[in-house]
Structure 1
Amino acid sequence: MGKSYVTKKNLFKFLLGSAFGILMFLVPIPQGESFTTLLDFLKSWIKGLFGSNLSYIITVMLVFSAVVSVYDFIAKPDWIRKNHYLSRAFSTTPLYLGSKILGAVFAVMIVFKIGPEMIISADTGATMIDLCGTLFSIVLAFSFILPFLTDCGIMEFLGVIAKPLVRPLFHVPGRASVDLIASWFGASNAAVILTREQYMKGFYTKREAGYIMTNFSLVSIPFCLMVADTMGIANLFPPFYLCICIVGIILAVIIARIPPIKTIPNTYRESVGKQINEEIPQEKGIFAHAVEMSCKRAESFNVKTVGTSGLEVLMGMFFDLIPIVVAWGTLALIIATYTPVFDWISYPMGLYLKLLGVPEAFAAAPATLVGFTDMFIPALLSVGLTSVKTKFIIGVLSLVQIIYLTEVGTIIIKSEIPLNFWKLLVIFLERTIVALPLIVLFANLVL
């Protein structure tokens, strides 16, 4: 019999560490007549601590990120390329490099009030800087708490427990549940990279990998909280997140059975072939095996794990995500505020929303499509809506659409999986059209 990882020390780390993570991220805490989370309390305290200096901190951070990323792109220095944290933050593609530069330029113009009104106005750039202040605070709050969810064993436990449901429901191996947990508790782009590596090593077929990337890579719990907070509905986070989970599962069941996912070859990577062999040991039940795997993961959890994992999240969000959010978010708000482009292309979605009885249907319509570019922009476009129900619907929709070009789309397109830009667009539209009536039904039941 092999080594057993179920010891008092490992069980202690698994149970207490995971409980702390769940308490901080998911347990609703009463606040007046509504609810919030301990993480939200911490975020608010951090934002208040920095006060009016936050916009200047954001600007310095964006300029620094742009300058170092340009230097890395031109010189390709080993001290960046061979450092895990620095390469994650500053080594990027031409598209993202341009976004970082644009984000830095916008930040300087907005904070110092230089340039045209359409960029620096309260409806566009100024809104973005304020919202990125909130993003900055919540990232600082959750980065070093997140490892308690990802590295204490709760992911492995839930992965094993969910395994018997995964294959019949989603037509993928049981290990795909870990990809799902990795994105829900971690980051969607990290889950896509994990899936790509599993395909490259022969554990997923082309169809399985493409399906997991486009259906299981939901955004993380803290990001969902950030979107809810941005839209002013953080007090509704428990039903908000429950709706995301329910609709996400239903979408995953449906999308697995229709094109274009269904038409992708169900074959393994030719150079490695099939390498997967999933079996739960006969001498153990599912629960016992789940505990074993959880304790195995918890064994390596320590203070250093919290520091390294937290720093990785912090660097990626501060120097990679926030610059892109400023660049794309400002552009989207400019287009939405000063041009009729989104109104034109989203008119059919306005009719669809009106048919479903959604308040402010045509005002909300642009936010249903702009999420194909970035997952945070729909929240930005919805800030001005007055209907709480409509904000709820758009917020949930933006987080179950999944195909965000600035996050996971580029990674998918660059992989060996046969999913190009147009197939991703079709999947995005399928998810949008199918999800909306489900979300509206849920919203009508809880609001």
Structure 2
Amino acid sequence: MERTTEFGAEISKGYSWKTKLKFLLCSGFGCFMFLFPLNNSDSDFNTVLSVLTEMLDKAVQVNLPWLLTVIVVVSALGALMGLFWRPAAIRKIDWLADLLFVSRPYAVTRLVALFVTLCVALGAGPEIVRSDDVGGSMVSLSQTLIAIAVTLSFVLPFLTDCGIMEFTGILLKPLIRPLFRVPGRASVDLIASWLASSNTAVLITGNQYQSGFYSKREAASIMTNFSLVSIPFCMVVAETLHVTQHFLLLYASVTAIGLLLAAIGVRIRPLSAIPDSYCGEKKINEEVPPDVSLWRWAWAAALNRAERFNLRVALDAAVKMTIGIILDLIPIVIAWGTIGTLLVNETAIMQWISYPMGLYLSLFGVEGAFQIAPATLVGFIDMFIPALITSQDLPAATRFLVAGLSLVQIIYLTEVGSIIVKSGVGLDFKRLFIIFLERTIIAIPLLVLVSHLL
């Protein structure tokens, strides 16, 4: 069989058994870690990576409870150095300089995160900031992100760099490309989000964009449409809103509506207006020559990719990715998550802003339309807030609607939104909010129809 690069150029013939084993074993390990479903003691679905992350998270919180504080302090000091003094030793290391020397708005964000973290860690400062429902919850979430950053960064190369993305991408391109205008390899992102977590899928996509496998438009489309929430989190939302007896209907409707929203979203602005430019050199070609079978081309592309996999290079990139996530993303989660939660919990601003949504819900005869109107918008801050602020006295159909809506909106600032903005795919907070509104407006009537089946 002729060996081919991802651009279709023919090179020498035949692949060694070493290369074939590298593809099968390394890709198999990556799929096992990210995609293999497990059942835990609570009968919830999980993945091996999720279990490993939970174990590491517990170990860090028990043995290194001060680690998060150190990370936020280093991040804030780096931002201050970038504003007033840039040491030559750091300037010589490009990736570290880009990470520490940030713009003024991001420097302010890191200082706010430092203030919140110190308030929580020391039990001092305003109670409203350090309470468990506000700053405390953001700090707790960020501690989990440390474990996610470590496990994800070091396992990710086995999923993305050993050939399975090329193999599935070429096989699924005839289905994925016409429907969603993205490469077939995006299906791996979708499965990862279903079984692991949405932020895992977004980080995978960001990594693929930086590596030249997705264009800016494709990466933005995948991040905002394919990052469906995981099965375990769906169960948590269902339990919180007491609609677990309808879980199968809930998850089936969330999946179907999510795919429909993806097909629509990629065809309208702002996603459709993002250029198809690449970060550096384009490294993907899923076009199959007319004289080669689909399976043969997928196999060749996978082996070609696996042959170029270098563990040392992958580990070096993993270290940089880990440091990048913990120093750059965590302060954003803490700062903006705290500010957003304060706006929801301590002000009436969401009641005012959400009034038009109450009118919109009323058009479809939703009971308690104005009562749940804030829940339709606060999901932009964090996807779990709608479930927390929805009254259990509302009818089951209304609670089902809130659950489904919070699960299909998928763009929330405390995790996914912050990652997307920092990934450089052409989406700022304004564009993200527009996409969030589009998904919300389209999803509501569909979920109302489904809720009538209860």
TM-score (norm 1): 0.75
Q: Structure 2: which 5+ runs fail to align?
A: 1-9, 193-199, 393-398
- Aligned positions of 1:217-232 closer than 5 A: 217-218=223-224, 224=230
Q: Residue 227 and residue 30 in structure 1: after superposition, are their counterparts in 2 closer, same or farther (change >3 A)?
A: closer
- Aligned positions of 1:316-395 closer than 5 A: 316-349=324-357, 365-366=373-374, 368-370=376-378, 372=380, 377-379=382-384, 382=387, 392-393=403-404, 395=406
CA distance in 2, matches of 1:32, 1:275: 43
One-letter amino acid of the counterpart of residue 328, structure 1: W
1:7 aligns with 2:19: no
Please say if residues 397 and 436 of structure 1, whose CA atoms lie closer than 8 Å, have aligned partners that are also in contact.
no
What residue is the counterpart of 1:163 in the other structure?
173
Please say if residues 393 and 443 of structure 1, whose CA atoms lie closer than 8 Å, have aligned partners that are also in contact.
no
Partner SS state of residue 29, structure 1: strand
CA distance in 1, matches of 2:42, 2:283: 54
CA distance in 2, matches of 1:34, 1:276: 39
Partner SS state of residue 44, structure 2: strand
Please say if residues 409 and 436 of structure 2, whose CA atoms lie closer than 8 Å, have aligned partners that are also in contact.
no
1:407 aligns with 2:419: yes
Please say which of residues 291-300 and 352-361 is displaced more in the overlay. 352-361
Please say which of residues 219-228 and 275-284 is displaced more in the overlay. 219-228
Deviation at 1:108, TM superposition (A): 0.3
What residue is the counterpart of 1:216 in the other structure?
222
Residue 79 (structure 2) aligned to one of 66, 69, 72 = 69
What residue is the counterpart of 1:310 in the other structure?
318
CA distance in 1, matches of 2:383, 2:20: 41
Q: Residue 394 and residue 107 in structure 1: after superposition, are their counterparts in 2 closer, same or farther (change >3 A)?
A: farther
Deviation at 1:141, TM superposition (A): 3.2
Residue 437 (structure 2) aligned to one of 421, 424, 429 = 429
Q: Residue 366 and residue 254 in structure 1: after superposition, are their counterparts in 2 closer, same or farther (change >3 A)?
A: same
Deviation at 1:101, TM superposition (A): 1.3
Residue 56 (structure 1) aligned to one of 42, 62, 66 = 66
What residue is the counterpart of 2:7 in the other structure?
none
What residue is the counterpart of 1:188 in the other structure?
202
CA distance in 2, matches of 1:54, 1:438: 46
What residue is the counterpart of 2:37 in the other structure?
28
Partner SS state of residue 114, structure 1: coil
Deviation at 1:89, TM superposition (A): 3.6
Question: How many pairs were matched up?
Answer: 422
Deviations 1:240-282 (A, max 9, x none): 99877654432232134445556x49x988xxxx999874223
Residue 290 (structure 1) aligned to one of 282, 291, 298 = 298
What residue is the counterpart of 2:408 in the other structure?
397
Deviation at 1:371, TM superposition (A): 5.1
Partner SS state of residue 281, structure 1: coil
Please say if residues 183 and 217 of structure 1, whose CA atoms lie closer than 8 Å, have aligned partners that are also in contact.
no
Q: Residue 12 and residue 222 in structure 1: after superposition, are their counterparts in 2 closer, same or farther (change >3 A)?
A: farther
C-alpha RMSD of the superposition: 4.6
